[in-house]
Amino acid sequence: MSLLSVRDLTVKFGSRTGPVTALNGISFDLARGERLGIVGESGAGKSITGFALMNLLSKPGYIDGGQILFEGEDVAQMSPRDVRAMRGDRMAMIFQDPMVTLNPVLTIGQQMIETLKAHRKLSTQEARQIALVKLKEVYIPSPQDRLDQYPHELSGGMRQRIIIAMALLLDPKLIIADEPTTALDVTIQADIMALLLEMCQSNQVGLILITHDLGVVSQVTERTMVMYAGRIIESGPTRSIINDPQHPYTQGLINALPQQTPPGQRLKQIPGTMPTLATMPKGCPFHTRCALVGEGCMTHVPSINQFGSSFVACHEVHRLQNEVPAEDVS
């Protein structure tokens, strides 16, 4: 049984003009200890996916359908009490900006101890000891002193280290990290990412890494999912996605990487911008920017089908590759 099995997840946002769909039929699986990257442009729905997995969508967002089977239980159907018992214990989350993630008026120790006490029957002393051990694991110097410090006394990198330690406090099965290094100084981004990878590997923790950075994805994850306008448009082994992208959008993303452009030349950006939830076109959401656009693209949303080791949602790839589509992922 896989650790996480998402089926047809749909998320909507209520608005005055009626609900708009932010996530449309997302399906994927994650094995125990597996690391999955989610990439895509800003607004593609990556963060929404992360929050939906935690059942932590803030209003007016809500899960409109589908299943999120986590260790066999459907997170979407859990009682608030069970969801709370799961969060931070079996499934932990690392937020983007460590400068605003920690509560400014509580010490690091208080914030770590409360997390332990929320899920285990522990004395404050016992909880403090566990917190100390975890801080040591993430190589925080003089961890004893850190426990009594307030967040503002620590640098951004140090805070994100602490947040990684907090995610590991209760030995979760899955960590969802939403752009955990984007807000940090460039010089320490690699350190933090390496730490996260090391922690996941040594503790057999599954990881869902949300990022813009294809370089990071190729270093950290085993599989990658490319999202566009609330849908998965390509998914597969990270190596295939990077080296042999199928979907025109994924190809565009890879070609836009600075490494793919000789020095001095302009980056090959994908023309146009992603549609917003309100301006979602009919048919394939990418057809307005796609060079391969054909007739069917404007009327029908492509289903996702297997090609080699990847799954791709594109009418034209199906046609060009001239292959018989394999069965649907689900």
Partner 1 sequence: MIAYLIKRVFQAIAVMLVISLIGFAIQGNLGDPLRELLGQSVSEQVRQQLRDELGLNDPFLVQYMRFLGNAIQGDLGTSYFFKEPALEVILKKLPATLELVFGATVIIIGLSIPLGVFTAIRPNAVFSRLILALSIVGLSIPVFLTAILMIFAFSVELGWMPSFGRGEVVHVFGYWQTNFATKDGWVHIIMPSIALSSIMLPMFIRLIRAEMIEVLQSEYVRYAQAKGIAPWRIYFVHALKNTLLPVITVGGVQIGTMVAYTILTETVFSWPGMGSMFLEAVNRVDTPLIVAYLIVVGFIFVVTNTIVDLIYGLVNPTIKLGRMGA
Ligand X SMILES: Nc1ncnc2c1ncn2[C@@H]1O[C@H](COP(=O)(O)OP(=O)(O)OP(=O)(O)O)[C@@H](O)[C@H]1O
To ligand X, the closest distance from the beta carbon of 43 in angstroms equals: 4
Question: Residue type at 156?
Answer: G
Contact range with partner 1 by CB under 8 A, out of 28-36, 80-88, 192-200, 242-250? 80-88
248 binds partner 1 (CB under 8 A): no
**Binding residues for ligand X, how many (CB under 6 A)?**
14
User: Would you say 117 or 212 has its CB closer to Mg ion?
Assistant: 212
To ligand X, the closest distance from the beta carbon of 243 in angstroms equals: 24
CA atoms within 13 A on the CB side of 147: 20
Q: Which does residue 202 touch among Mg ion, ligand X, partner 1, none (CB within 5 to 8 A, set by kind)?
A: none
305 binds Mg ion (CB under 5 A): no
Instruction: Look at residues 213, 303, 219 and name the one whose alpha carbon lies nearest to residue 258.
Output: 213
Q: Which does residue 43 touch among Mg ion, partner 1, ligand X, none (CB within 5 to 8 A, set by kind)?
A: ligand X
- Bridge pairing between strands 174-178 and 206-210: parallel
- State the angle between helix axes of 156-168 and 124-137 in degrees (0 to 180), rounded to the nearest 10: 120
118 binds partner 1 (CB under 8 A): yes
Q: Which tokens is 192 given?
A: 């933090």
Could you tell me the CA-to-CA distances from 74 to 6, 9, 67, 68, 118 in Å, in that order? 9, 11, 6, 5, 22
Residue that has been written with the tokens 């009418």 in this structure: 315
**Residue from 3, 6, 48, 199 that binds ligand X (CB under 6 A)?**
48
Q: Which does residue 228 touch among ligand X, Mg ion, partner 1, none (CB within 5 to 8 A, set by kind)?
A: none
Task: Return the residues of window 2-41 that contact ligand X according to CB under 6 A.
Answer: 13, 22, 40
**For residues 199 and 196, what is the distance between their CA atoms, to the nearest angstrom?**
5
47 binds ligand X (CB under 6 A): yes
181 binds Mg ion (CB under 5 A): no
**Residue from 25, 37, 45, 151 that binds ligand X (CB under 6 A)?**
45
105 binds partner 1 (CB under 8 A): yes
User: Would you say 86 or 312 has its CB closer to partner 1?
Assistant: 86
Q: Which does residue 22 touch among ligand X, partner 1, Mg ion, none (CB within 5 to 8 A, set by kind)?
A: ligand X
**Residue from 8, 124, 145, 152 that binds partner 1 (CB under 8 A)?**
152
Q: How many CB atoms lie within 10 A of CB 262?
A: 5
104 binds partner 1 (CB under 8 A): yes
To ligand X, the closest distance from the beta carbon of 15 in angstroms equals: 7
To Mg ion, the closest distance from the beta carbon of 217 in angstroms equals: 15
Instruction: Look at residues 280, 256, 258, 279 and name the one whose alpha carbon lies nearest to residue 268.
Output: 256
**For residues 252 and 271, what is the distance between their CA atoms, to the nearest angstrom?**
9
Task: Return the residues of window 18-77 that contact Mg ion according to CB under 5 A.
Answer: 47
**For residues 167 and 164, what is the distance between their CA atoms, to the nearest angstrom?**
5
**Residue from 115, 160, 224, 246 that binds partner 1 (CB under 8 A)?**
115
User: Would you say 68 or 176 has its CB closer to Mg ion?
Assistant: 176
276 binds ligand X (CB under 6 A): yes
Residues lying near Mg ion in the complex (CB under 5 A) are found at: 47
Residues lying near partner 1 in the complex (CB under 8 A) are found at: 54, 56, 58, 84-89, 92-93, 95, 97, 100-107, 114-115, 118-119, 150, 152, 166
Residues lying near ligand X in the complex (CB under 6 A) are found at: 13, 22, 40, 42-48, 60-61, 276-277
